[in-house]
Structure 1
Amino acid sequence: MSLSVDVFVVGDDGQVDVLDVPEGSSDLAGFERWRTSVCGSDAVRSLGASFFPALAGGDLKVFPDQVTDFLAECALIRNNLEVVAPRTDPSKTHAEYAGQISERLRNIEDAAERAQAVAGGVLIW
């Protein structure tokens, strides 16, 4: 299974609506196993991240007033890909992992930027 990233808005009636992914964007946020091996890893936690480690225990909902802080955490992860990318999986090189994480992180950043544009939030599930 794969993790997905979506943008949501909260309507006047309190109803949460997940928006369609626009053409040219992707909702791929990583592999299910990344919940613990990447997002909830000791490496990510050691950077002081708080949003991404929450994925180790369930889905992540970033509310509209948190999106700016979430984008800052995305930048923290991006700036530390060499630390974050696992080194112990014999099926992939460290560089391959870093590249995959970078690609999926770009999708997450894109969703967060789209969320800001509509005063919405981000859901990774």
Structure 2
Amino acid sequence: MSLLVEVFTTDESGNSRFPDVPDGSSDLAGFESWRSTVWGSERVRSLGARFFPQLAGDTLCVAPADVPEFIQEVFLLQSNVESIAAGMDSPTPVTHRVGQIADRLDNILDAAQRAIQIGGGVQIS
């Protein structure tokens, strides 16, 4: 299974709406195992991340008001992607892991930027 990143809005009744992923964008946010091995890892936690580690236990739901702070956390992880990849216990070469994580962070950043444009939030599940 894969983790997926989605943008959502909430209507007047409190119901969430999930717009389709636009052409040219991807909703892939990593492998299911990345909940703990990447996003919830001690390496990510040690960077001061507060949103991504939530994935170790459940779905991550970033409220619209928190999306700017979430984007800053994505930037933090992007600037430390080599360290994050090196800390993984995986037979895959580090350079390949760096590319995988960087690609997923790009997808997450794209979703967060789309959320800002429509006043929505971000969910990763």
TM tier, smaller:
over 0.9
Superposed, 1:1-125 pairs within 5 Å as 1-85=1-85, 86-90=87-91, 92-125=92-125
Where in structure 1 do 4 or more consecutive aligned residues deviate above 6 Å? none
Counterpart of 1:119, as a letter, is: G
**1:73-106 deviations in Å (ceiling 9; x for gaps):** 000000001111144311x101110110000110
- Return 5+ residue gaps in structure 1 as ranges: none
RMSD: 0.8
Check conservation: 2:36, 2:55, Cα contact below 8 A.
Answer: yes
**1:38-86 deviations in Å (ceiling 9; x for gaps):** 0000000000000000000010000000000000000000000111114
Any idea what SS the aligned residue of 1:14 has?
coil
> Percent identity, aligned pairs only?
51
Any idea what SS the aligned residue of 1:4 has?
strand
In 2, the alpha carbon distance for the partners of 1:23 and 1:87 equals: 32
TM-score, reference length from structure 1: 0.97
**1:2-41 deviations in Å (ceiling 9; x for gaps):** 0000000011121111111111111001000000000000
- Return 5+ residue gaps in structure 2 as ranges: none
Number of aligned positions between the proteins:
124
TM-score, reference length from structure 2: 0.97
